[in-house]
Amino acid sequence: MICLWKEYILINNWGVLVKIYAFVGPSGTGKSHRAQWVAREREIEGIIDDGLLIRGNKVLAGFSAKKEPTKIASIRRALFTEESHTEDVKNAIKVYQPKSILIIGTSDGMINTIIKALGLPEITEWIRIEDVATELEIKRALSIRKDEGKHVIPVPTFEIKRQFSGYFLDPLRIFRPKGKGVAPFEADKSVVRPTFSYLGKYVISDHAVYEMIENIALQIAGIYKVMKFRLENMLTGVVIEMDVSVNYGFYISDVLNEFQIRVKEELERLTGLNIISINILAKSLYVG
C-alpha cells in the first residue's frame, strides 16, 4: 500500500493553523463509509464530503450534493461551484477553526478544485482508498452502489433529515475493533439514495402518510378516529395538522400527547420525514 506524505503544515488565509488531508478513491468504493474511521485514526477534526462540512457527528455547513436532481448538478455542488454554498462553508471554517480537515474526493483533481474554491492550504497527506480497504471490501462497496444505488454520508440520520426529508434514509452503525482490551471505535452514518439515482426518486404521498397515522390511531386506546388530516411540506420537513375524535373516559391531554409522540416516532422511523410539528385538535367526544 502506498501513502504520500508532505512533512509540513501551512497556515490558511484566516491565520489558522490547518492540516489538510485528502482521501481519494473512485466513486462507490466506500470512502464516506470509512471517513470517520480515517479521521479518528489521524485525529482530524473536520470532514468535507459531497458539499458538506462535518465535525464529529454534526453537519456544520453546506448542502449535500446527493440532494441535487441530476448527476451533473451533484458534481458541481461537490466541487463548490455555487457562490453562496461556498461562502457558507468558508464562513463555518472561520467560525469553528478546525486544526485539521479531511477532504473526500474521487480524484486528485477534484481535491485540488475543492481546495482552491475554499481557499485552503496544500495537502499534508494523501490517503488512497486502497490504503484503508481491502480489494474484497472495495468490490463489495461497488456492488452495493451499482445494484442498490445507495450512498453513505458520515453523519447520523437525524443530522441530515433536514436536507433529506422525504427521501430514502437508513441509519448505519459501524464498529471497528481497536485491539485487545481497547473499546471498539463506533460511528453512526446514514445511507441515502440520491435524487439522481437511476433507481428513481423516492416519494411519499400525503395519502400514504394519512394511512400510517390512521394505523397508529388504532393503537391508541383514547383515540376513536382521525376526522381531518392536513400535511404541509416545508423546506426542511413537514407540518401535520389533525382533528380527532376522543373516546369518552380518557384524559384528553394525555391521549393527545401520547398520540403526538407516537405519530412523530413512527413516521420518522418508517419514512425518514423530518417532522417539524404535529398539531392535534380534539374536535369531538365519542361515547360508545
The CATH number linked to 229 is 3.30.70.1350
Give the pLDDT score at 194: 57
Separation of alpha carbons 103 and 115, rounded Å: 9
The boundaries of the domain holding residue 107 are: 4-192
Q: Can you tell me the mean pLDDT for 51-75?
A: 83
Q: Which of 280, 55, 58, 89 is nearest to 162 (CA)?
A: 58
Check whether residue 255 and residue 153 sit in a common domain: no
Is there a domain that residue 198 lies in?
no
Q: Is the pLDDT of residue 193 over 70?
A: no
SS3 110: helix
Pair (248, 129) in one structural domain: no
Rounded CA Rg of the chain: 23
- Distance between CA atoms of residues 286 and 253, nearest Å: 15
Query: What are the φ and ψ backbone dihedral angles of 36, each rounded to 5 degrees?
Result: -65, -35
Q: What is the mean pLDDT of the chain?
A: 78
Q: Which three cell numbers stand for residue 17?
A: 493553523
Q: Domain count of the chain?
A: 2
The pLDDT tens digits of the residues spanning 68-93 come to 778 888 889 999 999 999 999 999 99
Where is average pLDDT lowest: 10-19, 175-184, 201-210, 273-282?
175-184
- Residue 282's DSSP bridge partners are 244
> Do 125 and 244 lie in a common domain?
no
Residue 238 lies in a domain: yes
The verdict on 182 and 216 lying in the same domain is no
Rounded distance, CA 205 to CA 59, Å? 28
| pTM of the full structure | 0.57
Which is higher by pLDDT, 86 or 233?
86
Instruction: Say if residue 43's pLDDT is above 50.
Output: yes
Question: Is the residue at 201 inside a domain?
Answer: no
For residues 153 and 232, state if they share a domain.
no
Q: Last residue of a domain, which of 192, 215, 243? A: 192
Are residues 159 and 251 located together in one domain of the fold?
no
Q: Are 226 and 163 part of one and the same domain? A: no
Residues 6+ away with beta carbon under 8 Å from 136: none
Whole-angstrom CA distances from 184 to 58, 179, 181 are 21, 8, 9
> Which pLDDT value is given to residue 234?
74
Maximum mean pLDDT: which of 83-87, 202-206, 235-239: 83-87
Tell me what the mean pLDDT of segment 94-116 comes to: 93
- Considering the domain architecture, whether residues 116 and 230 belong to the same structural domain is answered as no
For the record, the C-alpha cell of 126 comes out as 494523501
183 and 253 share one domain: no
**Averaged pLDDT, 174-181:** 47
* Residue ending a domain, choose from 163, 192, 221: 192
If asked whether residues 181 and 216 sit together in one domain, one would say no
Q: Is residue 70 part of a domain?
A: yes
Residue 285's SS3 state is strand
What pLDDT does residue 33 have? 77
pLDDT given at position 270: 72
Residue where a domain stops, chosen among 157, 192, 227: 192
Q: Flag whether 197 is in a domain.
A: no
Please state the rounded mean pLDDT for residues 196-221.
Answer: 74
User: Are 130 and 12 within one domain?
Assistant: yes
Same domain, 137 and 65: yes
Question: What's the pLDDT score for residue 31?
Answer: 85
pLDDT-above-90 percentage for the chain: 38
Query: Is the pLDDT higher at 238 or at 110?
Result: 110
Q: Is 213 a member of any domain?
A: yes
Q: What is the predicted pLDDT for the residue at 55?
A: 86
Q: Are 195 and 241 in contact (CB under 8 A)?
A: no
Q: Are 237 and 276 in contact (CB under 8 A)?
A: yes
Q: Per-residue pLDDT for 187 more than 70?
A: no
- Position 72 in a domain: yes
Domain-embedded: residue 220: yes
Return the higher-pLDDT residue of 233 and 215. 215
Q: What is the pLDDT of residue 5?
A: 34
Could you tell me the sign of the dihedral formed by the alpha carbons of 105, 106, 109, 113, in that order?
negative
